[in-house]
Amino acid sequence: MSKKLVFFLLTFIIILSYLFSFEKVIINKIYMLNSSISSAYIKLFVFTTETINKYFNQLDYIEQLKTANEKNNYYKSMYEIKVEELRELNSDINISLDKEATYERVKVLSYYNFNDHSKVLIDKKQIAKDKILPLITLDGFSAGIVLNKSNKMVAYLNENKKCNYTVFIGHNDTPGITSGSSEDGNIIVKYVPIWKEIQLDDEVITSSMDSIFLYGVKVGKVVDIKVYENTKEVLVKPYAKTLGERNFFIIDDTNTSI
């Protein structure tokens, strides 16, 4: 073999070796570049996803805060309304407290007769058989009277015809006596002097003239006036809601028991 051929073959082999080495370098470079691009893409994807999620989470949190704020405003408004109603209710309560009187909270036990919801048994201790005690709602309005009936403490509510106590009507203190209620629930006040001036919306209060109620316990307002030959009859829309109530006050200024 000639020297030229040997030299040519060696040169060719060296060149091929170089080319293969260079290709490996290129391949490595390309792989590294792809890895870098892939890594950057993944990082960008993760960052973008997290940013989007964070954005929507913030939107959701803002919406939750908005909803919570609206609820808080609603509850605040309802609270203010209830406070105002309570303030008005307290201003309407008109029980003239007497140091000699004993105010006792009583509970309704049952109806006295199942076919009459206007007469109920209460858990008051026995009182003298000739004694009549006033019954008052927890918000301070007249509700009826309490009697000893066969050693049972019976409350006759305003709706009962035997619930009789004296009242004053309007600014002129026109007298009258309660006598149950009409079919629509208005208290009937009888024996009103015909010569006395009465107007619709006049307020009706207890008069204490019968020694049952204290003076000034609120009963209701006049909604109708009937004029007869010798007397007037007045219908009064009561302040008290008595039917179905379970708790009342009674006032006992004698502490008499048997």
pLDDT 10s digits, 108-147: 999 888 888 899 999 887 788 888 999 999 989 999 999 9
- Domain of residue 152, residue span: 102-252
Query: CATH number, domain at 182?
Result: 2.40.10.350
Cα dist. 129→208, 241, 253 in Å?
A: 20, 27, 15
Identify the CA nearest to 235 among candidates 205, 194, 190.
Answer: 190
Q: Is residue 256 over pLDDT 90?
A: no
**112 & 223 share domain:** yes
Classify residue 201 by its DSSP letter.
T
Tell me the C-alpha distance between 96 and 138, whole Å: 14
**128 & 231 share domain:** yes
pLDDT 10s digits, 50-106: 777 776 677 676 777 777 667 666 765 665 665 555 555 544 444 444 445 678 899
Classify residue 254 by its DSSP letter.
S
Q: What pTM does this model have?
A: 0.59
Consecutive H or E run containing 102? strand 102-113
Q: Answer yes or no: are the C-beta atoms of 128 and 256 closer than 8 Å.
A: yes
pLDDT 10s digits, 213-236: 999 999 999 999 999 988 999 999
pLDDT at res. 94: 47
**115 & 217 share domain:** yes
* Domain count across the chain: 2
**72 & 107 share domain:** no
**112 & 78 share domain:** no
